[in-house]
Structure 1
């Protein structure tokens, strides 16, 4: 369990789905949770908009230093390469990638002052490649790149950066992009070696490990929480 007094963690998109499960797990682990989302009990903001994001970050930091962050917010924008619009690509970039950069930059001074920090980024198995996911896969792969760079740049300050790549997780986001009656969806589920969908709590458990003070020698890594789907897809 994390025991530092008043250790605060920011969870973006923490009002529902995986983000809500992570926020709940952080509270159970003894952390003070700050959520930025456009709904629910949170600091309300449109994280796809830099101005709205900046205002929310100012409000979050007004309550005190934040030394941990879970960059969770994201959207899928499904479509083939021929159908994917440039507007969707820009929207995916701003919400999935730019918000992670902006939110992390805002708390780096707090982490440096504390000589401690934990950055967790929710990427996706789709970063390895998935049909109908040009915008989504590109931004989720970009998040893995950010994770690796930040681990190198911030390690000397006691800050770790790690990513989680969920596979099929039972959330509204998954079902919205993967219709239950679609043969493509059925093929995804049949390919899971553990023979079940993942849960938001599965991802939250992985995030808890990366956020823990005792995980300071693990950084720059991507953990696929996917029921074994990536076996054979990722190099040893």
Structure 2
């Protein structure tokens, strides 16, 4: 196995943390970005608020000089709930900024070195909510834009040796999900009714799909949105 160096955003919790541990256990070097600190992180963890576009631009430029990156996983995200008729435009702007700006910034910072190597992996974390989920208008719009970036970049980079894909999780047992969907709530029941498997995903299950798309074996896969959602994007449970 070739040892690779990957950048992971939103790396200290949930899917990002599970992925970082998985990559490190496989022998890869992981550079994570998160707002908080974590002395047990399995790699180098950079404390950075990706909501600050200017600070992010400067930090990513420095990281691209310090590390010879082979790929990036854009996992950081922000979700707030609104029913149509009550959509807060400031919240919408926040969701678009946090879900889109770092995705674009990381890729543009790392792109020169990946192009020079003739090898690279870009995996963007999207969401099942893009298929239609109540109260997720703004978040779904932001993630739909992430899907569009994924397909566009895949086309632009197809001849460069760099693949671009997205993983779209269904509801998973993460802190971000639980902030909006408490255990035992009506919101949780509504989500579970949408999942044929009848359960939440585990961060490790989402991480496994991302890790595959980062691998050598995924070299002929690009421009794809891989739903890891217990069948939620196919249809509701028949039970």
> TM-score normalised by the shorter chain: which range applies?
over 0.9
TM-score, normalised to structure 1's length? 0.93
Structure 2 unaligned runs (5+)? 39-44
Does residue 218 of the first structure (1) align with residue 218 of the second (2)? no
- Counterparts of 1:34 and 1:208 in 2: how far apart (Å)? 15
Whether the 8 Å CA contact 1:38–1:44 is kept in 2: the answer is yes
155-164 or 78-87: bigger deviation: 78-87
DSSP-derived class of the 2:158 partner? helix
Q: Tell me by how many angstroms 1:49 deviates.
A: 1.4
Q: 1:47 aligns with which of 40, 44, 50?
A: 50
**Conserved? CA contact 2:35–2:49, under 8 Å:** yes
1:206 counterpart = 2:201: no
Q: Note the C-alpha offset of 1:190.
A: 3.1
Structure 1 unmatched ranges of 5 or more:
none
Aligned residue for 1:129?
Answer: 132
2:90 aligned with 1:87, yes or no? yes
1:105: how far off? 0.7
Contact 1:36 1:56 in 2 (8 A): no
Where do residues 20-39 of structure 1 align in structure 2 (5 Å cutoff)?
A: 20-39=17-36
Equivalent pairs counted in the alignment come to 230
Contact in 2 for aligned 1:69/1:119 (Cα 8 Å)? yes
- Equivalent residue for 2:143? 140
Q: Give the corresponding residue for 2:2.
A: 4
Matched, 1:230 2:233: yes
CA distance in structure 2 between the partners assigned to 1:115 and 1:214 by the alignment: 16
Partner residue, 2:42: none
Q: 1:150 aligns with which of 153, 158, 172?
A: 153
- Contact 2:196–2:235, Cα closer than 8 Å, also in 1: no
Once residues 83 and 34 of structure 1 are traced to their aligned partners in structure 2, the CA distance between those partners, rounded to angstroms, is 39
Q: Please, what is the CA RMSD of the aligned residues?
A: 1.4
2:194 matched to 1:191?
A: yes
Aligned to 2:107: 104
TM-score (norm 2): 0.92
SS in 1 for 2:159: helix
Establish whether residue 162 from structure 1 lines up as the match of residue 160 from structure 2. no
* Cα distance in 2, alignment partners of residues 93 and 65 from structure 1: 29
One of 7, 11, 16 as aligned partner of 1:14: 11
Specify whether residues 232 and 195 from structure 1 end up closer, same or farther in structure 2 by C-alpha distance, changes over 3 A only. closer
